[in-house]
Amino acid sequence: MKKLILLASATATPALAASGPFFSLGNTDFIVTVAFILFIGVLLKFGVPGMVTGLLDKRAEQIKADLDEARALREEAKAILASYERKKKEVQEQSDRIVASAKEEAVAAAEQAKVDLANSIARRLAGAEDRIASAEAGAIRAVREHAVTVAIAAASDVLAKQATPETVSASVDDAIKQVGAKMH
């Protein structure tokens, strides 16, 4: 600090345009130099350089603390980022497993649907074959019944043409005996 005062007094030389002696109250350069030296002295007396130095030291410590805190926050942020990247990777792997499982289930469901469809078609074919067989049997029965009816009608016509009153009477008597025997 003393060097500062010496420097200030050394640089405060009279200007070339100043007139008269330098150490007079009429010389403005002298007055300014004295005022400056007094100002520096007052600053030194009240310890302003120490306060400024203390404030600067305190500010430097605060900046250092802020930098340390920023480093710590940066490290914490890196750790959190790594954690989230691990979680993202785990979630991606899990979603890939879910998609693969869903594809497998879809393939299995499609195979089961094919089997179910084949079974349904087989059941329907069997039902249709049963209906066809039933209809065929019904048609055969109907044809037989119709053939029997036609045969009975033809036999009736033939018998009616060949029958005489005696043979008809004998047939009726014979039929009455058979009915009577079956009833008792």
Q: Is 24 exposed, middle or buried (0-12, 13-18, 19+ CB in 10 A)?
A: exposed
Rg (CA), the chain: 66
pLDDT at 14: 44
| CA dist., res. 74 & res. 69, Å (int) | 8
Identify the DSSP state of 13: P
| CA dist., res. 89 & res. 95, Å (int) | 10
- Segment 60-89 shows an average pLDDT of 96
pLDDT at 81: 96
Q: What is the pTM of this model?
A: 0.39
pLDDT per residue as tens digits for the range 6-62: 544 555 554 444 566 777 778 888 899 999 999 999 999 999 999 999 999 999 999
- Segment 154-183 shows an average pLDDT of 79
181 pLDDT exceeds 90? no
pLDDT per residue as tens digits for the range 110-151: 999 999 999 999 999 999 999 999 999 999 998 988 888 888
pLDDT at 17: 47
pLDDT per residue as tens digits for the range 93-111: 999 999 999 999 999 999 9
- Hey, is 102 helix, strand or coil? helix
